[in-house]
Chain A
Amino acid sequence: MGTAPCFSCKHFVNAPRLIEASIPGLNTLSSAYASVRGEAGLCSRLDLFLSPGAECRYFEQDEAVLPGA
């Protein structure tokens, strides 16, 4: 199994709305739409909060973010 940054992995969820939904209270004094989050997101496989440049052995390409897709 190959690897690439989490950004293009199918387990990586970084839509702000989904992040706020999965961590209740996050939008009370912060926001997933803020610059400080950058493009960080949740790994639905390992349950981690990761930067989009992180890498791991469980990478699986998300077809929706393939270049040209």
Chain B
Amino acid sequence: MSDDVSKGSTDYCETKACVEGAPPKAKPMGWKELYLKEDWWAIYLGIGITVVALVSFLSGSSIVKSLAINPGGLKWTSFGQLADHFSKNLPLYFMQMVSWLVIFGVSTRIIGIKTREFIPSFIILYLLSIVMFAIGGWANASKYNLEPPLVALIVGLIIANVVRLPKWLDSGFRVEYYIKTGIVLLGATFPITLIVSAGPVALFQATFISITTCLVIYFTATKVFGLDKRLGAVLGTGGAVCGVSGSMAIASAVGAKKDYLYTAVTLVVIWALVMIFFIPFVSKAMGLNPGIAGAWVGTSEFADAAGFAAATAYGKMAGNENAAIQGFTLMKVIGRDMWIGIWSFIFALIACLKWEKEECGTKPSAMEIWWRFPKFVIGFLAASFFMTAVTAGYASADFSKVVKPDLIMPIVSLRSWTFIFCFLSIGLTTRFRELKSAGVKPFLAFTTGVIVNVALGFILSVYVFGSHWSTLGK
């Protein structure tokens, strides 16, 4: 490994003459964000699908329920059964694929992805997803740990690293877009009352772990290994808050070298992949309650997409996917993701007021917190509030007998599709040969944080708040 990430500095405008000679300023994106960022599109699609499902349910139509078909629950024992299922439902699968293609195709076109690249790529992704669901629907799948998230990830990794797919196919492998859409759909099946009751514990646990991990990585990087402060900040937030997204936000806030961000990307991707397998299998070996394991994943996994893969996989292993997903979502989406903007603002202030006092151009604005805010969280909360309010009038028996099978389960199935698109895309976009050689010192600094994060996450989730997390999913 090379060690080319030594101390560096930015080169800001320093003199009065330089500042006064400023040319006209261009307009920033502003409201265009509403149609140029995938977060907003995830909200539109998630809420839109929920509203269509609700209208279909209230009008007595079964169109959404039919289109939400997936072979994951078949429990087939022979290929004949599987073939029979597909031959009977081929038109539905075709209509479903076209529906996904249209909504994702149009929205990605608007944000700037080439449609001629997206369409063939998405069709490949959809067909592979059917295979993943079919594997998960085998009656003996769980006996052999063939959980769809893990299988999808491994299949994707093999294809990406053995077959060497052309780079343009990445246009359809939009990991983040699919997981964000899935998270908003998840909100539609996530009671707002649970967020209100369990949210404070999640926020406390997340805050404690985020601050601790970030500081451990930062001080190990800068004080122990003598690395640049900016690299320490980029690695610290990558390990503590939200993986690559956290690193990207902080890299721009402190004006880091591109190489620093590249280093963080490599370390986060490698460790996130390790944790997708490590946490579920350790949890299984220890027989952890799925709610507790979900909270542990939410505390110690680095990115939403990777975390959902780990939580879903363990939920399936433990026979209570809902509990694991709820624990993960509360810890990661509610507890940790919302801190990106705050960390970004804090580091921007530190960089401006302490690291480069005389070179700081425009002072950071508190609006940074809003600009960096992962907006899809708003969609998750809105969907949760909306569906909780809409279904509040149903008696418990009616909810179980009518609302759950005809409204909630179709939304859950559509969410499962977006998740499997995401899990496959993680594997399909991970090309180990393209990852940067991180350097020994950054690797050790980040790994120290990983060890602290995983250990603390385990202690907090199992011993300190275990009784709290174990009540989820009931």
Q: Which A residues have a C-beta under 8 Å from some C-beta of B? A: 1-5, 7-8, 15-17, 20-42, 46-59, 61-62, 65-67
Contacts and interface: CB of A to CB of B under 8 A. Distances in A.
Among B12, B258, B430, the most chain A Cβ lie within 10 Å of the Cβ of: B258
A30 B18 contact: no
21 contacts: A1-B18, A7-B28, A8-B26, A17-B113, A24-B436, A25-B431, A25-B435, A26-B248, A27-B174, A27-B429, A30-B303, A34-B374, A35-B33, A35-B37, A35-B373, A36-B246, A40-B248, A49-B255, A50-B10, A54-B362, A57-B14
B111 interface: yes
A7 to B, nearest CB: 5
Given A3-B19, A30-B303, A67-B27, 6 more contacts: A23-B262, A29-B426, A36-B242, A37-B249, A57-B12, A57-B15
A-B residue pairs, 10 tightest by C-beta:
A2-B21, A40-B252, A55-B361, A30-B244, A8-B26, A31-B176, A24-B434, A29-B303, A65-B26, A35-B39
Nearest to B111: A33
Contacts of A33: 36-38, 111-113, 174, 176-177
Contact of A34 (B38, B113, B266): B38
B163 interface: no
B373 A29 contact: no
Contacts of B340: 36
Contacts of B14: 57
B112 A38 contact: no
Contact of A37 (B20, B252, B302): B252
Majority DSSP secondary structure for residues of B touching A: helix
B13 interface: yes
Contacts of A59: 13, 23
Nearest to A43: B258
Nearest to A25: B265
A62 B23 CA distance: 10
Contacts of B429: 25, 27-28
